[in-house]
Amino acid sequence: MKVSLNWLTDYVDISMSADELGELFTRIGLGCEGIDRTPTDIIFDLEVTSNRPDLLGHIGVAREIAAATGAAFNPPTPDPAKAGKTAAKVEDFTSVEVLDPDSCPRYTARVVRNVKVGPSPSWMLERLEAMGLRSINNVVDVTNYVLFEYSQPLHCFDYDKLTANRIVVRRAKDGEILTSIDETKCHLDDSMLIIADAEKPVAIAGVMGGLNTEVGLETTDVLIESAQFDPLSVRRTSRKLMLMSESNYRFERGVDPVGVNTASMRACELILQLAGGELAEGVVDVWAEPYAPHTVTLRPKRTNLLLGIDVPSKKQVEILDNLALRPDSSGGIITCTIPSHRADLTREADLIEEVARVVGYDRIPVADKVLHKVLPEAPNERIRRQAAQVLAAGGFDEAITPTFIDASEAALFGVNQTVRVDPLTRKTNNTLRPTLLASLLRACKTNQDAGNTEVSLFELANVFSRPSGGQLPTETAELALVTTRRLRDLRGTVEALVGTIAPQTPLAARKNKVAGMDETTAAQLLMDGQDIGGIGLISPEAQDYYALQQNIAAATIRFDALLDRGGARRTYRPIPKTPPVRRDLSLIVDEEVTWEQLSGALEAVEQPLRVGLEYVTTYRGDPIPPDRKSVTVTLTYRREGETLRGEQVDEQIQQVLAAMKSAFGAELRQ
């Protein structure tokens, strides 16, 4: 935002040098990024934050200087009736109809007749050129002048070019076309708010006027628009049409709803001074809901506690009063009535910040030492760290990927109802991911394109699902792994992870469908019978979507399930002094028998001497019948304080074989 020193002095006395003023701007939160000294003026380049649209005009900046220095603030008091004759009532000349009050909360129109359009005086030319604008004519220049004065965009229509001399604020119709004043052909649709007359569009609301009603040298009567538009509506339209202007820059940040009328009167006053004419009496003012000021309370003691300095209550009241916040102090509480141009002030902390920046951030002390209480590591953080250590030891690299994906990616993993950004705002990557696998598979593709053929990645982050009733999406922590290694390697890593975090809770895998995974390899991950995730090779559809050349093994785990079961301590047992006895059994069972069923039946055989049960492999083929398979398991036996004899173990094995034959008709493969 460029600010002219000459212009500022119209509203506030400035007795300091340009460098001192630049330092003052920075001290009160307006970063001064440069000072340009011209032969006739000094121009400051200020950084204005998006929550302070009132500072995009000279009056707002002058108000801040007055509050910081104690100088008198003298804004204009426009009275257009003194500058020109009154022809008739404005209602005799025009009417305004607002069909979308949500997008246009306020619209005002005034009419000035018999103006003489021509060049602007030199003082106005100098000020507009200092802002980087070229002169058009005295009427249009006035609207630009008021924009940089009040931070309120205005627009002048050639009154005689408005069909039926009326204004209709409405949504555009699909297929309507408007050529803007910069000669851009704009194809409109029903998402865009426009200003129209009785027949056609004449301006794009909050963005730019149309060429068909532009004020030129032949214009004699003008209609002056001053309005308030919804910031999001203006932003969407501006981005969609690729049109940028000083107007939409301000409307997107919000304008003063009360100042709409003040700026309109100021523009009429200047037009009458520079172009002559007659002002129609009154204003057509369509206001959906007049502004009702709200109040915010401030505790002076809280100010001092938060800032760490002593600012007397009287001084706080003085600062807030200079900022036009109308403070009322009683009972140790300061109550401020927030003016319409300060929509950013909504809570006590905002008022404390106002006091702080006027007093000076440099007055807030910086201690020599910072006291930081060291707390023990939270259980959740410890478990997260453990998980990262186990996965890193398993050869997995941690990935941090973007939260947004395409909706088509979510559909690959069985999720069609997603949390999405408005497509008008963001056309691609506009969906909050319901699973981390989509992001990790993107990373696999990136590595593939870079020539990295061996990839093992994990990520621990939140995923999002659409809520059933509430407004906010549901967030849950998920741990996802992908690897180009074998599926059994991935399963081993998952087992090691669960064994480290929840050693007393067994992990099981049950063959079942898992969205996004190949049906022949997919399995549910179960802890205590509860579904905590899935494991398997990614589906052919997902592999084709990401153009992956290798099979990718993947797993997802609801991390909350691990946290709920984490923290258990391993039970200490001394190293056995007697050797174990291991026996491998190859059991021929029906093809339908799953490992979950077989291992469960083996565990059910009560054998106090048995200390281990492990799966080895599965064999299909000759001489095994086609509808059967051979499953090899290892059984480990040990007795404390005594070395087992072979015949003792044989008895245990016969007991197992009998139980398996009874349960599954199992035979021992010779």
Mean pLDDT value across the chain: 92
Please, are residues 667 and 630 in contact by the beta-carbon 8 Å criterion? no
Residue 469: which pLDDT band, with cuts at 50, 70 and 90? Answer: low
369 located within any domain: no
State the burial class of residue 35 (Cβ atoms within 10 Å of its Cβ: 0-12, 13-18, 19+): middle
* pLDDT tens per residue across span 522-576: 999 998 888 999 999 999 999 999 999 999 999 999 999 888 887 666 677 788 8
The Cα 474–Cα 467 span in angstroms is 6
Mean pLDDT of 121-130: 95
Higher pLDDT, 150 or 571: 150
Same domain, yes or no: 612 and 643? yes
CB-based contacts of 664, cutoff 8 Å, min separation 6: 587, 589, 590, 593, 597, 598, 601
- Residue 347 three-state SS: coil
- Using H for helix, E for strand and C for coil, what is the string for 295-332? EEEECHHHHHHHHCCCCCHHHHHHHHHHCCCCEEEECC
Same domain, yes or no: 511 and 548? yes
In this structure, the dihedral spanned by the alpha carbons of residues 258, 264, 270 and 273, taken in order and rounded to 10 degrees, is -120
The Cα 507–Cα 240 span in angstroms is 52
Please, are residues 478 and 558 in contact by the beta-carbon 8 Å criterion? yes
The Cα 327–Cα 199 span in angstroms is 50
With CA atoms as reference, report the closest residue to 110 among 98, 99, 123, 95.
95
The Cα 594–Cα 3 span in angstroms is 78
Mean pLDDT of 162-182: 95
Quote the tokens at residue 518: 């190949």
CB-based contacts of 222, cutoff 8 Å, min separation 6: 111, 112, 115, 139, 156, 157, 158, 159, 215, 271
Mean pLDDT of 42-51: 94
With CA atoms as reference, report the closest residue to 299 among 251, 348, 255.
348
510 located within any domain: yes
In this structure, the dihedral spanned by the alpha carbons of residues 272, 275, 278 and 283, taken in order and rounded to 10 degrees, is -60
- DSSP secondary structure letter of residue 288: S
Quote the tokens at residue 467: 């809520």
Residue 593 has, within 13 A of its CA and on its CB side, a CA count of 22
Asked if residue 375 has pLDDT above 90, the reply is: no
What pLDDT, on the 0 to 100 scale, is given for residue 473? 84
Mean pLDDT of 235-263: 95
Separation in Å, CA 48 to CA 28, 30, 35, 195, 250: 11, 6, 15, 29, 11
13 located within any domain: yes
State the burial class of residue 378 (Cβ atoms within 10 Å of its Cβ: 0-12, 13-18, 19+): exposed
Provide the CATH number for the domain around residue 10: 3.30.56.10
Query: End of a domain among 235, 266, 287?
Result: 287
- DSSP secondary structure letter of residue 624: S
Mean pLDDT of 506-527: 90
* pLDDT tens per residue across span 611-626: 999 989 999 999 999 9
Query: End of a domain among 39, 69, 99?
Result: 69
Provide the CATH number for the domain around residue 602: 3.30.70.380
How far from chain centre, in Å, is Cα 328? Answer: 37
Quote the tokens at residue 105: 């909360």
464 located within any domain: yes
Asked if residue 216 has pLDDT above 70, the reply is: yes
CB-based contacts of 244, cutoff 8 Å, min separation 6: 238
Query: How many domains would you assign to the chain?
Result: 5
> What are residue 223's DSSP bridge partners?
111, 157
Asked if residue 313 has pLDDT above 70, the reply is: yes
Asked if residue 424 has pLDDT above 80, the reply is: no
- Residue 534 three-state SS: strand
Provide the CATH number for the domain around residue 543: 3.30.930.10
* pLDDT tens per residue across span 440-456: 999 999 999 999 999 99
With CA atoms as reference, report the closest residue to 149 among 76, 252, 249.
76
State the burial class of residue 571 (Cβ atoms within 10 Å of its Cβ: 0-12, 13-18, 19+): exposed
Separation in Å, CA 271 to CA 124, 140, 143, 191, 523: 12, 9, 9, 34, 77
Mean pLDDT of 67-94: 85
What pLDDT, on the 0 to 100 scale, is given for residue 503? 84
Please state whether beta strands 278-281 and 85-89 pair in parallel, antiparallel, or not at all (unpaired): parallel
Same domain, yes or no: 119 and 235? yes
434 located within any domain: yes
Same domain, yes or no: 283 and 299? no
Please, are residues 370 and 77 in contact by the beta-carbon 8 Å criterion? no
CB-based contacts of 665, cutoff 8 Å, min separation 6: 589, 590
Residue 641: which pLDDT band, with cuts at 50, 70 and 90? Answer: confident
Same domain, yes or no: 65 and 96? no
How far from chain centre, in Å, is Cα 241? Answer: 23
576 located within any domain: no
Same domain, yes or no: 356 and 447? no
Same domain, yes or no: 186 and 311? no
368 located within any domain: no
Residue 416: which pLDDT band, with cuts at 50, 70 and 90? Answer: confident
What pLDDT, on the 0 to 100 scale, is given for residue 230? 96
- DSSP secondary structure letter of residue 176: -
Same domain, yes or no: 337 and 436? no
Same domain, yes or no: 357 and 493? no
Asked if residue 87 has pLDDT above 70, the reply is: no
The Cα 473–Cα 470 span in angstroms is 8
Provide the CATH number for the domain around residue 89: 3.50.40.10
Range of the domain at 338: 295-363
Q: Is the model's pTM score more than 0.85?
A: no
Asked if residue 467 has pLDDT above 80, the reply is: no
Encoded amino acid at 200, one letter:
K
Same domain, yes or no: 95 and 29? no
> What are residue 36's DSSP bridge partners?
43
CB-based contacts of 658, cutoff 8 Å, min separation 6: none
- Residue 363 three-state SS: helix
Query: End of a domain among 69, 95, 114?
Result: 69
End-to-end CA, the chain: 88
Same domain, yes or no: 188 and 265? yes
What pLDDT, on the 0 to 100 scale, is given for residue 565? 83
Mean pLDDT of 324-335: 92
Asked if residue 382 has pLDDT above 80, the reply is: yes
Asked if residue 84 has pLDDT above 70, the reply is: no
371 located within any domain: no
Same domain, yes or no: 559 and 445? yes
